[in-house]
Structure 1
Amino acid sequence: MGERTIYFLFTDTGTYLSKMINLCTNQSLNHVSISFDPELKEIYSFGRKQPRNPFTGGFIREDPQGDFMKNANSAIYSYTVSESDCDVIIHHIKEIEAEKDTYKFNFIGLLGVLFQIEINRRNALFCSQFVATVLRDLEHFQLPKPACFTTPADIRTHEGMQLIYQGKLSNYFVNTERKIMKREEKRSLILLLSAKVKRFVIK
């Protein structure tokens, strides 16, 4: 059975809401999203549907290079799962995405985390609750708390998580583009050398 790598993006945008959450949790980087490629082409989470309005939240596909997120402090972690586990995670995400208009952001649930009161609301999730929910069936990613109490820090510190980047989110994409360019240059050089070798052999 093959393996797949999934990616977790932790961010702090510096908004008043994120500062309040940081104060409540005594942690930074209190927003978490999940992706399935190192270029972060598709990122899923629960958060603001409109970047300038913190009160219109729900299921979202985030734009990490948009104005709202590009200057965020961030940390990106990778985690290896089996192909079947990856398919399960994607299935759970697609189920929620298919019903996204019925979901909302679980603001009340954040208070439950602060005061350690279990609050489970129908079709309402906050970001780390969403990630914990879509990971719930993974045998090797069992979190120590119910999803309604799970924080980004609980996910970030899980055994097996590998830190691959920390810093301004915009710089990650600059570094990634450079790596892609170098990889393409190396591939082009190999193809060129291969073609020359073939011509030499034919002669």
Structure 2
Amino acid sequence: MNTIYILLTNTGTMFTKAIKSVTNAPYNHASLSLDMNLKKVYSFGRKQPDNPFYGGFIQEDFIKGTFSWYPETTCAIYKLNLSGEHYNKLLRYISMFEKNSEKYLYNLIGLFGIPFNKSLEVPGSYFCSQFVSEILKRSGVDLFHKKSALVTPDDFRNVEPLELIFEGKIYEYPQLKGWINYNPNRYTNFPFRKYVKQQLKSEQRKYYFRDGFVKPKKILMEQQMRKMKNITEIFDDFK
């Protein structure tokens, strides 16, 4: 037998809050991992952490990807045992997605069909739970016996073959902490000016620190922006 892992997460972004207001589910993103250490995790989601509208097939990156922007992300991790035949099929499908990653798009339209129990499928497009369900189904493991475009992340919490092995903050997952050595809470000071200068000069629109991590302190940035706005308003009053 071979074991894979289903990762359900909630980053707390505006987008996931909007979904949660409809689904009332604790997790709104699903990914598939080939290993317990979460080094090979696949899904459909943001290709750039700071751009929620540019999505597609991705390999999740816990160091420089979207999760690093939201260190308080909560998660539930489940394991699923597969036969050798099903596992090998799964690997072949993952490889196909990797080789043609630029051809796949995020199925945003499909999300609007779920509340109405309407399967809205777009060729070459998937949303996260649709992808995980579909790739398992193509590998011979049909967990839900319904169209993949109707599967939500919450569905994975209620299916019997899956076994919960961890629930809590994603960066407190022991196996993840064991290999990335990342403690996002230890960063308390954010060089706002340096960040802004780098943003203006760089085409990548990212700031990498010496340890290699993206600095995601968006809350502090917003606070600084509000302070700058308040100062501007004060000067305007004196004009």
TM class by shorter chain equals 0.7 to 0.9
Q: Shift of the alpha carbon at 1:124?
A: 0.7
**3-state SS of paired residue (2:138):** coil
Identity %: 38
Q: What is the distance in 2 between the residues matched to 1:99 and 1:65?
A: 24
Counterpart selection for 1:27 from 25, 28, 44: 25
**Aligned-partner residue type, residue 77 of structure 1:** Y
Aligned twin of 1:201: none
Q: Is residue 87–residue 139 contact of structure 2 (8 Å, CA) maintained in 1?
A: no
- Structure 2 CA distance for partners of 1:70 and 1:38, relative to 1, 3 Å: farther
Residues 22 and 30 in structure 1, CA contact (< 8 A), matched pair in contact too: yes
Given the superposition, is the C-alpha separation of residues 94 and 87 from structure 1 closer, same or farther in structure 2, using an over 3 Å criterion?
A: same
Give SS of 1:64's match: coil
Give the aligned partner of residue 93 of structure 1.
94
Aligned to 2:34: 36
Query: How far has the Cα of 1:142 moved from its partner?
Result: 3.0
Per the alignment, residue 9 of structure 1 pairs with 7
Which 5+ residue runs of structure 1 have no aligned equivalent? Answer: 179-203
Partner residue in 1 for 2:75: 74
AA matched with 2:33: S
Q: How many residues align?
A: 176
Separation of aligned partners in 2, 1:55 and 1:74? 23
Q: What one-letter code is carried by the residue in structure 1 that aligns with 2:80?
A: Y
Change in Cα spacing, 1:32 to 1:59, as seen in structure 2 (3 Å) is same
1:160 aligned to 2:161? yes
Moved more, 138-147 or 45-54: 138-147
Gap regions ≥5 residues in structure 2: 180-239
Paired amino acid for 1:116: N
Shift in Å, 1:71 = 2.5
Paired residues of 1:64 and 1:169 also in contact (CA < 8 A)? no
Alignment RMSD:
1.8
How far did residue 16 of structure 1 move? 0.5
Q: TM-score, normalised by structure 1?
A: 0.81
